Amino acid sequence: MNAVHNPMGLKLALALSWLSRARGVNLQSVVADRVHTDSRSLRAGDLFVALRGERFDGNQFIAQAKAQGAVAVVRLCRPAKRNALNDGLIEALRDVFQNLPPEAGAAVVHGEGDHFCAGLDLSELKERDAGEGIHHSRSWHVALNAIEQGRVPVVAALHGAVVGGGLELASASHIRVAEESTFYALPEGTRGIFVGGGGSVRIPKLIGAASMTDMMLTGRVYNAQDGERLGFAQYLVPAGTALQKAIELATRIATNAPLTNFALMHALPRIAEQPADHGFFTEALISSIAQSAPEAKARVRAFLEGKAAKVQKAG
């Protein structure tokens, strides 16, 4: 992939190394001194974090965005292994999403190379006993919960293989943008294992339990068009444009009132699982909390005074 040198990124790398020394944390996996040409939609002040999946003792990632409403772009950088998720990469995802700086208003996750993610790194699939297997699966739950139940909405930019644990990662994001090259599969069935990264909870919510069962029993692979129709992705875009589209969406999401984003990430999924009567009650509570924020009042006033954009007809 064509890479260009980025002076903003270099400054960021210096800031990160200062932070690392100041706080005594290990930032070796945060590589912020290069931004690839396909990240050109990034603005100065946005954050770029490349995760290479090395494992460190007690590693921790504290990332520093430069501007309010910045977009944090998190890239899986193991293209030689098709971004297969080893334990180091899972820990890195957990640490980055648990430590996003307060300035970040939205995030994007994507993969370097020809594929988004080939799922669990099968070379690490050791002879675990049942107890170890439970802890391994729970470590994925913590990392992917940090994405789904974190502080900011996350947009996944998908291309190539989105399989196994890669599909579990994508389904922990809040919006998925897929390129034409995308294909979805759950090869766990054929490998003699089961999903362990929250897939059995999240994937049926996107495509239904019957379709997930079919994928795992038969090894069925969905292409980008069928995957979008089925509910994996909300956007289907031409080759080479998913990252750009995801950053565009995240940039817009970052301008929303933070309480609205919070309600969408944390209240809506809970309301959807509540009995209707409980759902109506929770909705009344969260909507009144969101409305009472000074920012909400200012936005409504701006519209009434003709200073805010109208809703446009769909193109």
CA angle 46, 49, 53 (to 5 degrees): 170
Least Cβ distance, residue 35 to ligand 1HE (angstroms): 25
Look at residue 161 and give its three-state secondary structure.
strand
CA angle 144, 148, 150 (to 5 degrees): 100
> Is 188 a catalytic site residue?
yes
For ligand 1HE, the closer of residues 88 and 119 by Cβ is: 119
For ligand 1HE, the closer of residues 189 and 258 by Cβ is: 189
Please give the structure tokens belonging to residue 34: 């290069």
Among 27, 32, 157, 195, binds ligand 1HE (CB under 6 A): 195
Residues that bind ligand 1HE (rule: CB under 6 A) add up to a total of: 23
Q: How far is CA 23 from CA 16, 52, 62, 188, in A?
A: 10, 22, 9, 41
**222, 183 in Cβ contact below 8 A?**
yes
Alpha-carbon distance of 157 to 209, in angstroms, equals: 24
Task: Tell me, residue by residue from 235 to 274, as one string, x for binding to ligand 1HE by CB under 6 A and - for no binding.
Answer: ----------------------------------------
For ligand 1HE, the closer of residues 120 and 233 by Cβ is: 120
Alpha-carbon distance of 1 to 113, in angstroms, equals: 7
Find how far residue 99's CA is from the centre of its chain: 14
> Is 168 a catalytic site residue?
yes
Instruction: Work out whether 121 is an interface residue with ligand 1HE (CB under 6 A).
Output: yes
Task: Tell me, residue by residue from 132 to 171, as one string, x for binding to ligand 1HE by CB under 6 A and - for no binding.
Answer: --------x--------------------x-xxx------
Residues annotated as catalytic are: 168, 188
Where on the chain is the footprint of ligand 1HE (CB under 6 A)?
Answer: 81-82, 84, 114-115, 118-123, 140, 161, 163-165, 187-188, 191, 193, 195-197
